[in-house]
Structure 1
Amino acid sequence: MRITKLHATPVAVPFRVDEVWAFGRRRGLISVLLEVETDEGIVGIGEAAAYPSVDVVLAVLRGLEPLVIGEDPFAIERLVRRIDLVGTWHHVRASSPAIAAVEMACWDIVGKACGQPLVNLFGGRFRDDVECFYYVAAGTPDAVATEAASATKHGFTTCYLKVGSDDPRNDIARVEALRDGAGPDAKLRVDANEAWSPGEAVRIIRELQRFHLELVEQPVSGRALPEMAYVRERIDVPLLANEASWTRHDQLAVIRAGAADVLSADNQMDGGLLNLKRSAGIAEAAGLTVVKHSLGELGVALAAAVHVIAATPNFRYANQAYGSLLADDVTDGFGGGAELYVDGRVPVPDGPGLGIRLDPDRVNRYSELYRTDSGAFAFSDPAALSAAHALPKL
């Protein structure tokens, strides 16, 4: 079997409510769907987050064609090494989502050809479903409390909230509302996206500890591991590395620095599903738990990660997913909307390969939305664009 064609389709899918973070907002997400065709008629599906932009993803995919077309989709290790070393793509992190989409589609081809779900190719089922958190949009305290109550109603046990506002009192008020809305038994996770200096991080996290946080994610710069270690030693909440741990090489550095209690791993930021499994192995060897990070994903990328997580023991926290924010999806009944989760969990698809199918009508609808209104889906708002931002904020 040989790869004959790469076909990429950017799509824009709206959120129910805007996603807001420390430096902007967006009303939906953009992904690039990838179909990898073969000379035996099997088509593999992949997905790349639009990181750092759709233009970059599409340019990388065009650059990969001479390295991929004509190759055996079963020889995934060889193919990725060919991309990394012959193509020299391993030097550029922004190329990772496109490479990950090719690798994902190859795994889909292998699973379809073998008649096996991907979970069986990654070690078999350690669990039958994968827990995800409920992404609570950062709004007013009343809006946060309402969203948190919705999370509990839908059976989610973990709520995730962005913090890192210009005024820490706003963060404290929102986290208090999150606890009130979610109830006393819910697990609460906050993410500052590197917005705080070490001293401010310690002060603010100590203020937030009374709300019984499960994890605090990347409170300070991911580029300064001694600062992360400094904060970790002075707080009573486990610290989750994110921007500091996007690749296996980063994760090893975080472990050596003693800079986190839990590691984020992201197959799209580290070039593939095999590397997601490797990240979990690195964390396990260090005695740490790993959490799947997401740059924003639809049902294709979610299904791919679910297969790997289900076959890997040390994903013990709720993983990041966008289902609670998404108003719809591009697949046939997988990925979009909180009602598709069962008590906050995603069942592992049973079908061969990824076990999901693209919905042609939805793909057409959201590819057209991308063509006509893609600018509305970027991380931006007038206030954020006009401000003179710097890291850290405080």
Structure 2
Amino acid sequence: MKITAVEAIPFAIPYVKPLRFASGEVHSAEHVLVRVHTADGVTGAAEAPPRPFTYGETQASIVAVIEQLFAPQIVGLTLMQREVVAARLGRTVGNPTAKAAIDMAMWDAFGRTVERRITDLLGGFTDRMRVSHMLGFDEPATMVAEAERMRDRYGITTFKVKVGRQPVSLDVAVVRALRECLGEDVELYVDGNRGWTAAESAQAMHQMSDCGLLFAEELCPADDVLGRRWLVSRLDIPFIADESVVTSADITREILSGSATAVSIKTARTGFTRSQRVHHLAEGLGVEVLIGNQIDGQLGTACSVAFGAAYRLTARRAGELSNFLDMSDDLLTEPLQIVDGELQIRPGPGLGVEIDPDKLTHYRQDR
């Protein structure tokens, strides 16, 4: 299981439509395919989606840090030495998605080597998850139409609604339209991406108090310390920490300080190894968790559902697993399929998915 090489391949696939939210917008999946090769001839793969407006990483920076710093430090180690890898990569500050992709590619290679699914290696709770779909900024009628299409075509009945615009009435109108048109059986929650102040957040949540929302996520910045604690203390639904909890220490700080009451786990940000620690910490603290979306492609989504299905706590809620549907194409030989509102784990070893070499050649950006 000795690691012989680590690849970082930039690729770009356009979105059918841009996804807009408070901290930016995305028109193309300019991601990085990370592959870990071993002396046994096994290759594991994962996807690193850069989010410069959230973590400061770009496609170019992910490729550079992997090729120049990370790969030389881990070639020669084995797939079992995850703690050694984490310690060596941890000497470089930041770069969470680059580190996470290496970790997940190692797990994929390990699963392929021992011929076991990653879900089973992690916990094996179930083989599928309910799907939540993320709705970006648009006019109320357009967002309602997208939600109805996702419900009618894919059976999705849980929706994460991007909010955070000024005036707050814009997003209140969207949420009300969604609830009125979709009915009470559909689950709705909102994500502000830190776009509002604490006062604006409180105003919006008051105006939506009769809309039956499940959660509120990152409505205002975490560094607005007193304002955020004040806001969370006024809410009667869980407040999800996402961008503000990159590390386990961040989670401990936010939960114990009263700045959040739930946690979003994103494997694109914490890989499988650190996501396990986030899960166990959240379970020990008794807080809600859900599987978030880093606007992943299908490979990243396969990672998310593999982790989410492994544990009872993460599998009980719908995971954000559908935004690859907004991409014009993908890299997998067999596309993921959402059926009756669920995404099922692939049966093969590791992640159970394969990269199409022709598509990779077509979309890669380094040749």
Fold shared per TM-score above 0.5: yes
Residue-by-residue CA offset, 1:24-76 (whole Å, 9 max, x unaligned) = 32223221001212222111112111242011101110211221111112222
Cα separation, 1, equivalents of 2:138 and 2:216: 19
Cα separation, 2, equivalents of 1:344 and 1:228: 34
Cα separation, 2, equivalents of 1:146 and 1:10: 33
Structure 1 residue 140 corresponds to structure 2 residue 139 = yes
Corresponding residue for residue 348 of structure 2: 351
CA contact (8 A) 1:137 1:147 kept: no
CA contact (8 A) 2:111 2:117 kept: yes
Q: Output the amino acid matched with 1:341.
A: I
Q: Cα distance, 1:103 vs. partner?
A: 1.1
SS in 2 for 1:253: helix
Correspondence list, 1:49-198, <5 A: 49-51=49-51, 52-62=57-67, 63-84=69-90, 88-89=91-92, 92-93=93-94, 95-123=95-123, 125-153=124-152, 154-198=154-198
1:225/1:128 CA distance change after superposition, 3 Å: farther
Cα separation, 1, equivalents of 2:138 and 2:366: 29
SS in 2 for 1:209: coil
SS in 2 for 1:279: helix
Q: Output the amino acid matched with 1:355.
A: G
Stretches of structure 1 that go unaligned for 5 or more consecutive residues are 373-394
Cα separation, 1, equivalents of 2:28 and 2:190: 21
Task: Tell me which moved more, 185-194 or 69-78.
Answer: 69-78
Name the TM-score, length of structure 1 as normaliser.
Answer: 0.86
Residue-by-residue CA offset, 1:295-342 (whole Å, 9 max, x unaligned) = 22112222122222211121132222323423322112234xxxx212
CA contact (8 A) 1:15 1:326 kept: yes
Q: Cα distance, 1:225 vs. partner?
A: 4.2
Cα separation, 2, equivalents of 1:182 and 1:166: 25
1:138/1:324 CA distance change after superposition, 3 Å: farther
SS in 1 for 2:215: strand
Cα separation, 1, equivalents of 2:317 and 2:222: 21
Q: Output the amino acid matched with 1:328.
A: D
1:119/1:220 CA distance change after superposition, 3 Å: same
SS in 1 for 2:326: coil
Corresponding residue for residue 234 of structure 2: 234
Residue-by-residue CA offset, 1:205-240 (whole Å, 9 max, x unaligned) = 110122211111111112234432211221233211
Stretches of structure 2 that go unaligned for 5 or more consecutive residues are 52-56
Task: Tell me which moved more, 221-230 or 185-194.
Answer: 221-230
1:148/1:180 CA distance change after superposition, 3 Å: farther
CA contact (8 A) 1:14 1:327 kept: yes
Cα separation, 2, equivalents of 1:224 and 1:276: 26
Q: Cα distance, 1:252 vs. partner?
A: 0.8
User: Given the alignment, which residue of 354, 358, 361 partners 1:364?
Assistant: 361
Task: Tell me which moved more, 277-286 or 126-135.
Answer: 126-135
Cα separation, 1, equivalents of 2:352 and 2:259: 37
CA contact (8 A) 2:9 2:63 kept: no
Task: Tell me which moved more, 19-28 or 153-162.
Answer: 19-28
RMSD: 1.8
CA contact (8 A) 2:297 2:330 kept: yes
Q: Cα distance, 1:351 vs. partner?
A: 0.6
Correspondence list, 1:1-394, <5 A: 1-51=1-51, 52-62=57-67, 63-84=69-90, 88-89=91-92, 92-93=93-94, 95-123=95-123, 125-153=124-152, 154-270=154-270, 272-315=271-314, 316-321=316-321, 322-335=323-336, 340-367=337-364, 370=365
CA contact (8 A) 1:155 1:342 kept: yes
1:332/1:225 CA distance change after superposition, 3 Å: farther
1:213/1:366 CA distance change after superposition, 3 Å: same
